[in-house]
Amino acid sequence: MFAKAANSTPTVPSRNALRTLRQLALAGGTVGGCCALAAVTYDVHRRIRVAEQIIENKRIIHTSAPNYDAKASAQRLAHMMEAAEAGTFTGLESMKRKKPQAEDAAEESSDSPRPGYVSLHDLPPQFADIPLGLFNYTGSGSGSGSALRNEARNRKQLAFEAKRANRSVSLGRVPLDEQIRQMVLQGKEIQATNMFIKEHTEKKVPSGISWDRQELAYHLFTENCKKGNVFIARTLFHRMESITSIDSDIWAMMMHLLAKEGHVEAVCAIYGKYRLKLEVPVHLMEVILRCLLESRRLSLAKWFFYNNIKHDVDGGLCGAYLDGVWKKARSTDLLAAEFRLTLKRLSDLERNPTEKVFNPMIKAFIDSGKLEDAEKLVADMPEKWNVSPGCRSIGLLLYGRAALCDWESVMDGLYAMHERGLTGETRNFARVFDRLLLEYYPTHSGRETFNFIINSIDDFNIVPDRVLHRHIIEALVERGDYDMIKHITRLSHERGWKTGIERSAMDKILRARRVMMQKTPIGSWNLIKAAKRQYGMVASSRRILGTTTEAYNLDGDTLSPVRRNADANFSENMDHFALKKSINLYMPLEKRMEQFIHAGRFAAAKETYDKAVGSDHPVEPIHLKLAAVAHILENGSSDLEEVRQTIRKQWLKWKTRPTVRYTRPFPYFVPFFFQQIIQLDKFKVSESTLYKSALLEFYDICADTPTLIVKNHASTALTRRLIQEGRHSLAIEILKALYKSRWRKSHSFDQVQLKMLFRAFAEEQQLHIRGIWWCISTVLTRYERVSRFFVAEAERLLPMLERRVAGVSSNDLDVIQQLVELLRQKAASDDPTLFAVSREQKRKMRTKLAFPHRVTSHGYLPDKPVKAMLAKFDEEVEFDLLDRATDPNADDVLQWWEEGSVSGVHRLPPEHPDYPEPTLRDEKAKSAAYVDDLRHKQDLPPVLAAYVKYAMATAILVLYLDVVSTVALPTSDLSPSLQATAIGVPLGRKKRDREQQEKKFVPKEDLVAA
């Protein structure tokens, strides 16, 4: 019987029999509980195996066919399985008759974490209760409840997107996903990104987006990063923040791209937002650290460094941190404390320090005049820390000897380095020799400098880089002759120095040096006096006079800081004090405020000033000026009473401040900028005038202060904020004022500012088509390469311009489209001379008064060929005509610039008594006589003659007030109707001129009263 049973086919129980047996097994007590647990476990594992198989099949399909979309198939399969379980499945025809019901409304907005490498919405409904952690899910949700909620939310988002796609298909349009994919394949990433941003606002997608749409956004972001569209990628990144979650890969890619393009502030802002949520990749740690240090976020840099020091293998992160702290703080006490703490952290990690950890400390000792301490530290490196000094460490010591003019020790050290093989590090040794050369040639003759260069190149096998080659040429231009330069040029060709310095570069260096040497003082004493006059301090070397930063020798005695003798625990106490004090407080107050204003963080600059005043920090005029500028740029004309009270409160303190020898005494007169702020309550001033005054004052402060830098960053940040707030006309007025100021000639009106002006013109409520045309034509006709950022901005705004301009003038739209196409051509060719207009051509056009375009009846732009129009384009002339409704002719220009019309605009008071200043009464008499003569010749009616007299008298009053304001006479003596004109005096003057004008002003008592 058993043999027969073994050979026969086994009996398979039916599904109902198995279900009955399972219910009987689960109905018991202990045995039933064990059976129930086993059944649930088996069911979960079975579902996991099925799900893993489905995921693997989907991965294979996506690998073989990337454009395959399994969403419809998965939904159809889900409905088939539901119908089969319900017993209503009768074939495919029944499924075709049933329509899936998609929910119209989406749930509330919430973050939808991104799966690791696959989206799970394609799984059938019966697998929805599987824990997503089993599929390498990397979301932020914890537990199966969060995973189920994310999966349910994703399904509803998919249904919402599918409904919108079906609606687009029913209307005969291509679905959004397909449009974006087609644009990416055609190379139109910018247009695809604009479409994605437009369709995914917080109002249109209140519940976020699905994982598939999120993958599409990540793909768009990656494509823009590959093409270098930094700002487009950043805009997409910020939009993704509001509608979905950001993972560490996208975050790191965004920071890497911004750092590569030099946008330090943007990198730090993005890092600070997610620093507690996401982890920085190891390869980006040094980049992020340098960005934090460069933006003067020392506290955040310190936190980042000590939290990631465990990832530092070769000491590069330690060296970058210590070097940045020294550059920004310039405090040896702080650096010594951080240096010891770094060594302690490395010892806790059981790691040995490298040479990179010691070089910043050695450099700080040498820069502060403590050569003996630097030599002691280098001598202790192999004994205490088992670190052998390398090329850079020995080179720093030689630089310290060069500062002492001890050239015998320097040459001995160079030959010792050559014997030890340290000169084999070509790059590092070239930097060492460059520093030594810069110290050698000012104190030696041309022949000695030439012999030093040639002998060193031959003996040490130096291969100069671009910087060293340029410094060699500059040294020989200043100290040598033509034969020496010719010999160096021939030597560079023979030995193949690939530095890129050819004949044109040498001519440029020669012209620059010739201009710089025209007004230089003669003799060392005059050089020191010039440096004193500029920097307000002794400009001689600290070590040549035998002094350091902490002591000054005078007649054999040492003048040290006022403090008691240090005991044995003094250094340890100083370490605790330096570590307890905030690292940001070691930076100068004006540098911190300048950095905040350049970055557009005006409120942070004002807050920094308030904290400094609250902690009894010595307040100087530059600090108060920067605080006033920051407050005005942040708040505009609102709440100026606080600024006025601060000025009145601080000014009395400066009068009681002692005057220090060899420094410029504090002025007793109120600066002109403060006078304007105090008198603003007496008449109405437009907000644009206030913004322009503060911004131009900030330019003047940076130009007059040696430690500050003149940059266009503040104007760009201010106008960007105004455009985002919808105040486009105000941003246009500010940029126009900067273009007309002297800063355009000295520091240029670059393509970033042109981009902001282009954006303001395009997004203004009343479209300024002529301004858009001027911006693009200006970029095309300049002798410079077109930035891809400007091209990306033009491509981003072009669809909006096509919609707005098409209804006004087809000719204008045609011209704008052709100009954008020429922008693409010039950017792709990388040729700065393409479409450029030379200065000689502009001079000829201005001489002939030839205006290249005319306003036609077809619109605001010319209808001639675009290339012919660009050949006669003059950006200065066209800028003056931007706000004019019609084009002028030659007679109009001659009348504008007639000598009698402009000769009295900027007159200064006469210095000789034989030439008295014409009074207002004389000017009125002349104008009346001129009108009478004009009426006699042309028989003007009496009413018209009276009107002409009134108009000319008003014009003369305006000219007279301009002269009065130029010499800074008190406006309180004028009538209220004239004070409004006196306040609009431009502030872009040299510091010396302003001081001479301000000294002539005697402030009233109420201006300086507390």
- Higher-confidence residue: 507 or 64? 507
User: Looking at this protein, which amino acid is placed at residue 797?
Assistant: L
Q: What is the pLDDT of residue 910?
A: 40
**For residue 202, how many other CB atoms are within 10 A of its CB?**
11
In the numeric block, the tokens 């399969």 are attached to 77
C-alpha 841: how far from chain center: 35
CA distance 359 to 119: 50
Lowest model confidence (mean pLDDT) among 73-87, 121-135, 393-407, 650-664? 121-135
Is the Cβ–Cβ distance between 948 and 929 less than 8 Å? no
Angle between helices 316-329 and 285-294 (to 10 degrees): 0
User: Quick one: pLDDT at residue 898?
Assistant: 60
Report the distance separating Cα 720 and Cα 802, nearest Å: 23
CA 406 to chain centre: 43
What confidence tier does 983 reach under pLDDT thresholds 50, 70, 90?
Answer: very low
List, as own/partner pairs, every contact residues 433-439 make where C-beta atoms lie below 8 angstroms and the sequence separation is at least 24, other chains included. Answer: 433/460, 433/462, 433/468, 434/467, 434/468, 434/471, 435/395, 435/399, 435/402, 436/398, 436/399, 436/402, 436/410, 437/468, 437/471, 437/472, 437/475, 438/471, 439/399, 439/402, 439/403
Q: What is the dihedral of CA 630, 633, 636, 638, to 10 degrees?
A: -20
Q: Can you give the length of the chain in residues?
A: 1010
With cut-offs at 50, 70 and 90, classify the pLDDT of residue 673. confident
- Report how far residue 411's alpha carbon sits from residue 448's, in angstroms, rounded to the nearest whole number: 14
The confidence score (pLDDT) of residue 678 equals: 81
Q: Which residues contact 345 (CB under 8 A, 6 or more apart)?
A: 306, 309
Crossing angle of the two packed helices 189-199 and 230-243, in degrees rounded to 10: 20
Please tell me the predicted confidence (pLDDT) of residue 148: 72
| 3-class state of residue 856 by DSSP | strand
Per residue in 496-521, pLDDT tens? 898 888 777 777 887 877 777 776 77
What is the C-alpha separation between 739 and 743, in angstroms, rounded? Answer: 8
Q: Which of 100-114, 256-270, 895-909 has the highest mean predicted lDDT (pLDDT)?
A: 256-270
Give me the pLDDT at residue 889, please: 60
Q: Higher confidence at residue 107 or residue 172?
A: 172
**What's the pTM value of the predicted model, to 2 decimals?**
0.68
User: Can you tell me the mean pLDDT for 11-28?
Assistant: 60
Strand-pair category, 557-559 with 552-554: antiparallel
How high is the pLDDT of residue 91? 55
Q: How is residue 127 annotated by DSSP?
A: G
Q: Which of 65-79, 216-230, 431-445, 772-786 shows the lowest per-residue confidence on average (mean pLDDT)?
A: 65-79
> What mean pLDDT is predicted for residues 917-943?
48
Distance of CA 946 to the CA centre of its chain: 57
**DSSP string over 710-743:** --SHHHHHHHHHHHHTT-HHHHHHHHHHHHHSTH
pLDDT tens digits for 200-237? Answer: 876 777 667 888 888 889 999 999 998 888 889 999 99
pLDDT tens-digit profile of 421-446?
A: 999 999 999 999 999 999 999 889 99
Q: How many CB atoms lie within 10 A of CB 667?
A: 14
The 3-state DSSP class for residue 552 equals strand
Q: Which range has the worst mean pLDDT, 643-647, 827-831, 919-923?
A: 919-923
